[in-house]
């Protein structure tokens, strides 16, 4: 029998008040999720988001600059064992040209994301960061290129990188094993996140919702890990099968569960930057708008050249692969305003990282 709404409300209220619940309470809320508790959580998450950020939504221009990867994560279409995918790499000029296009459209954050491609050496990525920062000094640069040694992260920080996005994928050891090859480890992934924190990056972690073998307890561990790490950003999206991976037959994650988790994370980390992801928009036609209504406040539209978008095939049926950057920008503004929010100008830093002079009246 389902438990009463009061039982759920009590926990949601405590999460809003104390920003933390026990593993059992998180798992309880996820397991007993229903229409009534979802509606209540949405209301609270939106109230908190509006109290902290107002109706503002921050944009990050995503540049998927290489789909070559030395890793073999079982869920990801870029995995090295995938012999079917057509590999590509953007040149430095192409990447800078994506930034120019984005800059003209008002983007002030560029996210360079890719597989762990050895041909982009630490020094080559550092030079790229320097070039972007030189040409667009007001823009923030986020790197999302996987696991690297402390020294490499330090080099990129010195080159001017502001943020780093590395999803932990799952905080449950056994579940991590199920999703990754032998040579990868949760401990190492977490160490990377702590290294990035120490180096002064604004750090984003995150996980997939509904990945094979995931339980409510594993998700509860993800939430506990957020309290431990205190990331500036949390990227979550539904798992979506990719046809050339071992998980091709696995069921998709649920949009409802993803939205519920977004709401929980907004209460857990009121000041966090929370993207409504492309994966959520792929799963549900209004996924990103719904995400905003459940506490998300960031969108990461694609700035990659149209010709390469389909090749960055981490999962199937990715949306917006046929759009030009300018079309995406207009479409998003309509969607954001239609949902009752508006697109903010500027870099959208986490408030812990706002410069002192910017804070002064």
Listed ranges 87-95, 132-140, 144-152, 317-325: which one lies at the site for ligand SAH (CB under 6 A): 144-152
Residue with tokens 């090295």: 80
Q: What is the dihedral of CA 169, 59, 273, 57, to 10 degrees?
A: -130
CA dihedral sign of residues 133, 136, 137, 142: negative
314 binds ligand SAH (CB under 6 A): yes
231 binds ligand SAH (CB under 6 A): no
242 binds ligand SAH (CB under 6 A): yes
DSSP character at residue 164 = E
CA–CA distances in Å: residue 33 to residues 89, 243, 283: 43, 30, 19
| Contact yes or no for 295/53 (Cβ under 8 A) | no
For ligand SAH, the closer CB: 58 or 120: 120
Closest CA to 252 of 234, 266, 240: 240
Instruction: Select from 21, 63, 76, 269 the one that contacts ligand SAH (CB under 6 A).
Output: 76
**Least gap, CB of 46 to ligand SAH (angstroms):** 25
For ligand SAH, the closer CB: 3 or 317: 317
Binding to ligand SAH by CB under 6 A, coded x per residue (else -) over 247-286, reads --------------------------------x-------
Phi, psi (5° rounding) for residue 219? Answer: -60, -40
Instruction: Select from 31, 80, 167, 197 the one that contacts ligand SAH (CB under 6 A).
Output: 167
**Least gap, CB of 221 to ligand SAH (angstroms):** 16
Listed ranges 41-49, 139-147, 194-202, 297-305: which one lies at the site for ligand SAH (CB under 6 A): 139-147
Instruction: Select from 45, 111, 112, 166 the one that contacts ligand SAH (CB under 6 A).
Output: 166
287 binds ligand SAH (CB under 6 A): no
Listed ranges 40-48, 51-59, 151-159, 232-240: which one lies at the site for ligand SAH (CB under 6 A): 232-240
For ligand SAH, the closer CB: 251 or 338: 251
The stretches of 82-199 forming alpha helices (DSSP H) are 92-104, 122-135, 150-159, 173-179, 186-198
116 binds ligand SAH (CB under 6 A): yes
Nearest-angstrom CA–CA distance, 49 and 46: 5
Instruction: Select from 65, 164, 239, 341 the one that contacts ligand SAH (CB under 6 A).
Output: 239
**Least gap, CB of 13 to ligand SAH (angstroms):** 31
Q: What is the dihedral of CA 134, 278, 327, 63, to 10 degrees?
A: 20
Instruction: Select from 46, 162, 169, 232 the one that contacts ligand SAH (CB under 6 A).
Output: 169
In Å, how far from its chain's centre is CA 58?
13
The string of DSSP codes covering 3-67 is: PPHHHHHHHHHHHHHHS---HHHHHHHHHT--HHHHHHHHHHHHHHHHHHHTTEEEE-EEEEEE-
Nearest-angstrom CA–CA distance, 68 and 81: 11
Nearest-angstrom CA–CA distance, 35 and 5: 10
**Least gap, CB of 51 to ligand SAH (angstroms):** 29
65 binds ligand SAH (CB under 6 A): no
Instruction: Select from 28, 58, 65, 75 the one that contacts ligand SAH (CB under 6 A).
Output: 75
Nearest-angstrom CA–CA distance, 108 and 355: 16
b vs e for 161-174, b when ≥16 Cβ sit within 10 Å of the residue's Cβ? bbbbbbbbbbbbee
Instruction: Select from 61, 102, 115, 295 the one that contacts ligand SAH (CB under 6 A).
Output: 115
237 binds ligand SAH (CB under 6 A): yes
Kindly list the residues in this chain that would bind ligand SAH in the complex (CB under 6 A).
75-76, 113, 115-116, 144-146, 166-167, 169, 208, 237, 239-240, 242, 279, 314-315
């Amino acid at each position: 029998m389902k438990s009463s709404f009061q039982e759920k409300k009590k926990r949601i209220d405590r999460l809003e008040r104390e920003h933390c619940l026990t593993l059992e309470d998180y798992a309880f809320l996820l397991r007993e999720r229903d229409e009534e508790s979802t509606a209540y959580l949405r209301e609270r998450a939106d109230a908190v988001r509006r109290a902290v950020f107002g109706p503002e939504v921050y944009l990050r221009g995503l540049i998927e600059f290489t789909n070559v990867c030395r890793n073999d994560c079982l869920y990801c279409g870029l995995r090295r064992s995938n012999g079917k995918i057509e590999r590509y790499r953007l040149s430095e000029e192409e990447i800078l040209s994506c930034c120019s296009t984005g800059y003209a459209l008002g983007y002030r954050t560029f996210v360079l994301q890719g597989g762990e491609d050895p041909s982009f050496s630490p020094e080559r990525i550092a030079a790229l960061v320097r070039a972007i920062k030189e040409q667009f000094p007001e823009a923030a640069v986020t790197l999302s290129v996987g696991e690297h040694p402390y020294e490499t992260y330090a080099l990129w920080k010195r080159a001017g990188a502001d943020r780093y996005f590395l999803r932990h994928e799952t905080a449950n050891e056994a579940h991590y094993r199920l999703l990754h090859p032998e040579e990868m480890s949760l401990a190492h992934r977490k160490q990377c996140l702590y290294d990035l924190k120490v180096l002064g990056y604004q750090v984003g972690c995150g996980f997939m919702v509904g990945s094979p073998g995931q339980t409510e307890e594993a998700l509860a561990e993800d939430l506990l890990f957020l309290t431990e790490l205190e990331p500036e950003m949390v990227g979550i999206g539904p798992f979506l099968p990719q046809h050339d991976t071992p998980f091709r037959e696995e069921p998709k994650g649920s949009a409802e569960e993803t939205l519920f988790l977004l709401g929980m994370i907004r209460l857990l980390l009121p000041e966090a930057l929370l993207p409504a992801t492309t994966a959520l928009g792929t799963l549900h036609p209004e996924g990103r708008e719904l995400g905003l209504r459940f506490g998300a406040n960031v969108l990461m539209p694609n700035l990659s050249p149209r010709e390469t978008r389909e090749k960055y095939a981490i999962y199937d049926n990715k949306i917006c692969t046929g759009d030009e950057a300018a079309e995406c920008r207009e479409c998003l503004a309509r969607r954001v305003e239609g949902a009752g929010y508006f697109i903010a100008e500027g870099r959208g830093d986490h408030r812990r990282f706002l410069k002192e002079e910017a804070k002064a009246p």
